[in-house]
Chain A
């Protein structure tokens, strides 16, 4: 057993080891890391700013209202007029439906994990690990998978096939984002609610959904952004169309694919219009972000802790 020392001895010992608070090496370290952080922040914000600025600058200058109001028609990529209305509407149909489907499935999965499977730590760990793993799978693989599903079920290239593929593609991010939020619900809240004689489904729908609402909105945003911004996952499955889709079985061209095609066009004027399309895509995402922020703010105040 260690010899007992007096508090004053211990304090003297600690004091003798003490380094001056903010001089010499310590100060240098701090300056170094602080400037590293500053440089990184400036770089990131700068790069983001340049991308956004160039999209806005070139986008606004090549933008025309006809782009919003007209379908591509036959000659859009050949610089013979027309707009990208079909791609905007098509993209919105596709990503909104996929996000909604993924939200329903994702909520069910995340609630199941956090409310029903709380005791089964091993299953949970495995599920989370798997989801994180497939989160990293490139979207083109989902495209290929969606294509083989289509062939298997005998569906033609269509909006529907695109919706199913994109739903699968954004599901992992949706589930894990909601799951991470639900993990923060204090155990004491669940205990309190259950001890009142609530069922687990009441706990899910009346308490978890409210408590996690702002986080769920963020999850929806993440998933929606991924859905509307991705070109590769729908490349094989939606076909291409120059007209606004009117049914689930129609082919669609999405905005990212349209942008890709515009950039690949031999006509310089059409290439420039790619910026206007990117500008529109950015505005759509901006609008959805602002709307969801507004919605989530309204419920934020009820959250406990």
Chain B
């Protein structure tokens, strides 16, 4: 693959290995301050289409914050100042003319802890579908089943679709949330340590589903678990203290880290 080097503002070399049209998210000179704290420092990265990109880094380095910037959930937090921008395709995320609701529909979000809707299991999926269009009962039934099957939840819940979603176990809830996100038919799925609150079995299930989904969706997954990143990542963005240190294809990143901090991190120095 051809790669061209771009000179970051602070002199750090961020590799941009993507040709036109290959990337779908472009973070351009993003800075974020919360109160007086500088949380994200001049972030410049691109995220490739239909690949699984992992954002890696020790906790507190700003991974969640960067992810939330991508669909502007920062709107909910007081005292946040953002400069620079993020582009989804051609559309800027920050900007007064942006239709953020339309933009968010292109991006599903899976949070660290599952938050099912205060409804029954069936309606948790149907809610996402109904947001975007009108369906007949039969179509809804079919789609709900399809998405529940896609996350391997159907067999476990098919007899209790009308019971409250909170009664599911945490692992099941997380899969339900993934199905709900898929039902909105996004192009991109953002996931913030989606397995960190789960037991090993559910965790593996989610991980496998992610690996499978990356053929059809652009996946951006935050994690601080190195082994998980090794197993499933196509690309790795390594962050440290609010900066992006490297952005590389996973193989290269793990086999041949360039920056000093990356080497230390891979050697386990920060954990």
Residue numbers of A with Cβ under 8 A of B are 118-121, 186-199, 202, 206-207, 210-211, 301-305
Q: For chain B residues 47-87, which have a beta carbon within 8 Å of chain A?
A: 68, 71, 73, 75-79
A194 near B119 (CB under 8 angstroms)? no
Selected contact of B73 from candidates A194, A199, A301, A302, CB within 8 Å: A194
Interface string of B2-19 (1 = CB under 8 A from A): 000000000000000000
B131 near A196 (CB under 8 angstroms)? yes
B166 near A191 (CB under 8 angstroms)? no
Tell yes or no: B107 within 8 A of A by CB.
yes
A211 near B184 (CB under 8 angstroms)? no
A191 near B76 (CB under 8 angstroms)? yes
Which residues of chain B are within 8 angstroms of A191 by Cβ–Cβ distance?
A: 68, 73, 76, 109, 111, 115
Question: Chain B nearest CB: distance from A67 CB in Å?
Answer: 44
A198 near B78 (CB under 8 angstroms)? no
Tell yes or no: B92 within 8 A of A by CB.
no
Residue of A nearest to B184 (CB): A196
Tell yes or no: B180 within 8 A of A by CB.
yes
Question: Chain B nearest CB: distance from A150 CB in Å?
Answer: 41
Tell yes or no: B257 within 8 A of A by CB.
no
B78 near A197 (CB under 8 angstroms)? no
A302 near B105 (CB under 8 angstroms)? no
Interface of B: prevailing SS: mixed
Q: For chain B residues 79-126, which have a beta carbon within 8 Å of chain A?
A: 79, 101-102, 104-109, 111-113, 115-120
A196 near B181 (CB under 8 angstroms)? yes
Please give the number of chain B residues whose Cβ is less than 8 angstroms from any Cβ of chain A in the complex: 37
Query: In this complex, which of B106, B119, B190 has the most chain A Cβ atoms within 10 angstroms of its Cβ?
Result: B119
B104 near A194 (CB under 8 angstroms)? yes
B116 near A190 (CB under 8 angstroms)? no
Q: Which 4 A-B pairs have the closest CB atoms?
A: A197-B105, A195-B109, A211-B118, A197-B104
B118 near A210 (CB under 8 angstroms)? yes
Which residues of chain A are within 8 angstroms of B111 by Cβ–Cβ distance?
A: 188, 191-192
Question: Chain B nearest CB: distance from A206 CB in Å?
Answer: 7
How many angstroms between the C-alpha atoms of A145 and B115 in the bound complex?
46
How many angstroms between the C-alpha atoms of A182 and B89 in the bound complex?
36
Selected contact of A195 from candidates B104, B132, B164, B166, CB within 8 Å: B104
Query: In this complex, which of A198, A211, A305 has the most chain B Cβ atoms within 10 angstroms of its Cβ?
Result: A198
B118 near A198 (CB under 8 angstroms)? no
Tell yes or no: B237 within 8 A of A by CB.
no
A207 near B113 (CB under 8 angstroms)? no
Query: In this complex, which of A187, A197, A198 has the most chain B Cβ atoms within 10 angstroms of its Cβ?
Result: A197
Instruction: Enumerate 8 A-B pairs (CB-CB under 8 Å) in ascending A order.
Output: A121-B79, A193-B117, A195-B109, A197-B102, A197-B104, A206-B127, A301-B166, A302-B120
Which residues of chain B are within 8 angstroms of A195 by Cβ–Cβ distance?
A: 71, 73, 104, 107-109, 181, 190
A118 near B102 (CB under 8 angstroms)? no
A302 near B118 (CB under 8 angstroms)? yes
Question: Chain A nearest CB: distance from B222 CB in Å?
Answer: 14
How many angstroms between the C-alpha atoms of A203 and B71 in the bound complex?
16
A119 near B118 (CB under 8 angstroms)? no
Question: Chain A nearest CB: distance from B25 CB in Å?
Answer: 15
How many angstroms between the C-alpha atoms of A210 and B116 in the bound complex?
12
Q: Provided the pairs A121-B78, A188-B111, A197-B105 are in contact, do residues A207 and B71 lie with their beta carbons within 8 angstroms?
A: no
Residue of A nearest to B117 (CB): A207
How many angstroms between the C-alpha atoms of A195 and B100 in the bound complex?
10
A188 near B115 (CB under 8 angstroms)? yes
